[in-house]
A = this chain, B = another copy of it.
């Protein structure tokens, strides 16, 4: 959209796509998804709201660009691993840790399917699935299952963080509140949910996330014949 590759005389003070994205990430980290507004952004950058539109097409593009600025280096780092299974776990861990610092990327990814950040994750996973020696017919399904699983976790994490923030709760208190809510459900209709409510408090999100990736990888490696 906007051409901005050319540096103007003063890279420090003048507006640029990079400075806008950098400031956007700071706002998103500090205030969640709602923290990013063109007014807050222009104030932080010491410029007018309209100026930003010279460098960026719209808010959706801005959010995607901010997300990509997190995802791109994360994927670059994860790919360094050697064995395919370890590399896939590294991709997962990399995403999980990035989400921990920048929870908003969960909703950013959900809003920008088939865009660069999502494609980067797909590319990284796909390569490792191929390296894993997965049969041709299974590749798409394996990659798609892993990708959607990661996106699902990312979305939930983002939402949980947002809600905890809105209610001014730290993680432990938030989980307690959810557990209490589940425990109060009808005993017959929600027997399973009630039975796992106590586990909510003590579970380790990160280990659970990795366990899910292992489940999918196991499924890919020992696919049984389908009816």
Contacts and interface: CB of A to CB of B under 8 A. Distances in A.
Interface of A: 107, 110-114, 119, 122-123, 126-127, 130, 139-145, 147-153, 155-156, 158-160, 163, 178, 181-182, 185, 189-193, 196, 199, 203, 208, 211-212, 214-224, 226
A119 B193 CA distance: 7
Contacts of A178: 114
B203 A140 contact: yes
A152 B147 contact: yes
Contacts of A217: 219
Nearest to A226: B214
16 contacts: A110-B158, A114-B178, A114-B181, A119-B185, A123-B189, A123-B190, A126-B193, A130-B192, A141-B211, A141-B212, A144-B212, A151-B156, A217-B219, A218-B223, A219-B220, A221-B224
A216 B219 contact: yes
